[in-house]
A and B are shown apart, each in its own frame.
Chain A
């Protein structure tokens, strides 16, 4: 069964071909069914492979399936091949599972849209590339998936390209991602120069002997790779595209910009954990950037009024947590949070989509309120997602976030404090969103007829809610170091400096339990504050914003980062381009081309007088020429 891993990626491709090339006349139900069934096929295949791998002993769970040679050029040999190991399996299952649920939801959400077929084609194409990304066995094939998901992200953000904002957002996402991709490319070249190959298995096997620990080469490689991860996973400073990406359809935000694609950077860092363990400096950079992003994005989330933007900033912040975990060497905790986050963030986005659907496209939470009774299903599932994200026991987010914070505490108290502040803010802004949307007084426009969404949208919400409750239990047992997921991932992940934590974990079980209560308390405090400010005394936020108007405006406008970017980067580039266009292109290049043409024209005006049309004139010239040649040959 493992040898059929290629089938996992084949199914979505079939969906793309059927819907994209042959599906012009398919009715909507058929188009939707093809798209969803294709992903179901991938999911089931991945499940079968997973079951088979589970039966193998831990040491034999990694295998490579090579289909054929892709590039053979000099010493470069790249195969189209798949890597089946615990890490790629976890990713395959998460990606295909969540994708399937979101495909089902999309059939309801996009039912009225004109671009229904285009939508499902893009979505299937995205899943195809994402599955390639997580199952590739070499950096180059991974890069193919990496670029492919970027393309699909661009296409889907700009799905409603007739409007200006989505089209611009798509462009922004693409351009910002290019910066990250540049880092990835450079890292890949460095890896090839160092190892003469791009295969994961060879590179990681050779890395400890070839590279000097903490040396320049490995630090440079890992930092460049992290630049790529920053672009794709929206970390400081390349996070600016993700909030704008919310212009796409909401299921797309759920799938691509929350659950799967943006986690590609985390996956890549974990995949290269061997390299990162050799570069302590890079690890510190990853941890610090992750921690900063977690706090920074959460603080912006506090003030946003657009429900999807709140979720977008929360995604950036949660991705920060994942990098924070990777940075302190807790790679498996990062993957654990990636998986649980995929469940509850997809749930939250789909819930927001359901609210939008019931509110005729309204996103502003100031125009919502008291939707609880009108949309009970959406409310309860959204609440479960929120509890999971806030990290309340026994929801999934609690387990993963607690594990990250615990692992971080082993390394650094400062980073832990940062993470805890982020967790506090997360609980606050998520419950602020819940209270503003579902509780309190109704501020809904009277013309809007609020209604619950159709069943095809509610069932996916239910399934994801179930996963958000139960998803954390793959991380059991809680205390004493190694949990089930961690043990499963052990063959793949480097354990640099992590063995120590497991060792004295046994002695500190009591301390660990205390810290668990602390992180729970932090989250509860955030919820309580939100309750105080938005339910008990709804006037407080306004007063507060007046008293601290400077700070309020700074955060409300997202620290003016977009404006600063526009002023520092976009405008100079634009002005430079205008200069190049007007001065260089129009004057120098066009001038040279047109000028040489004009010179030729002038010169030919003189020469054309020779051509008179008089035959005898030509004959005279001919004979004159012959005589001249004869004279030169014989007389000189």
Chain B
């Protein structure tokens, strides 16, 4: 029997990995995957708490998050694709035109 706390700790570790990835990596697709990782860490947390409380509210939220994540993946990948077509790079350090 796995304790709820352990799920939560795993979720937190995954979330922090995601955040670290977003900060550290320069490849836009990898940053994107890290964001997905953060979303799924949150999903894990929702499911764990939902089970421990015996309510399905958390699971409903998870469905919403998955839907939004799918839509976001479509839009995000399209942006990255057109970025690559235009600039021949997906390194975020080189994409810094939007400033003063």
Binding site for B on A (CB under 8 A): 608, 611-616, 619-620, 623
Contacts and interface: CB of A to CB of B under 8 A. Distances in A.
B92 A615 contact: yes
Given A619-B22, A619-B23, A620-B23, A611 B93 contact: no
A616 B92 contact: yes
B2 interface: no
Contacts of B88: none
A614 B96 contact: yes
Given A619-B23, A623-B19, A613 B98 contact: yes
B100 interface: yes
A250 to B, nearest CB: 70
B29 to A, nearest CB: 14
B99 interface: yes
A616 B22 contact: yes
Contacts of A616: 22-23, 31, 92
A613 B97 CA distance: 6
A623 B15 CA distance: 12
24 contacts: A608-B100, A611-B99, A611-B100, A612-B96, A612-B99, A613-B96, A613-B97, A613-B98, A613-B99, A614-B92, A614-B93, A614-B96, A615-B92, A615-B95, A615-B96, A616-B22, A616-B23, A616-B31, A616-B92, A619-B22, A619-B23, A620-B23, A623-B19, A623-B23
A612 B100 CA distance: 8
Interface string B61-100: 0000000000000000000000000000000110111111
Contacts of B23: 616, 619-620, 623
A613 B92 CA distance: 10
Contacts of A608: 100
A432 to B, nearest CB: 83
Nearest to A607: B100
A615 B25 CA distance: 12
Interface in B9-25: 19, 22-23
A623 B23 CA distance: 10
Contacts of A612: 96, 99
Nearest to B24: A616
Contacts of A615: 92, 95-96
A615 B98 CA distance: 9
A619 B100 CA distance: 18
Nearest to A623: B19
A-B CB proximity, top 6 nearest: A613-B96, A613-B99, A608-B100, A611-B99, A615-B92, A611-B100
Nearest to B92: A615
A616 B23 CA distance: 6
A611 B100 CA distance: 7
A612 to B, nearest CB: 6
Contacts of B95: 615
Contacts of B31: 616
A608 B97 CA distance: 14
Contacts of B100: 608, 611
A623 B96 CA distance: 20
A601 to B, nearest CB: 12
A623 B98 CA distance: 20
Nearest to B25: A616
A613 B98 CA distance: 5
A619 B34 CA distance: 13
Contacts of B93: 614
Given A608-B100, A623-B23, 13 more contacts: A611-B99, A611-B100, A612-B96, A613-B97, A613-B98, A614-B92, A614-B93, A615-B92, A615-B96, A616-B22, A616-B23, A616-B92, A619-B22
Contacts of B97: 613
Contacts of B96: 612-615
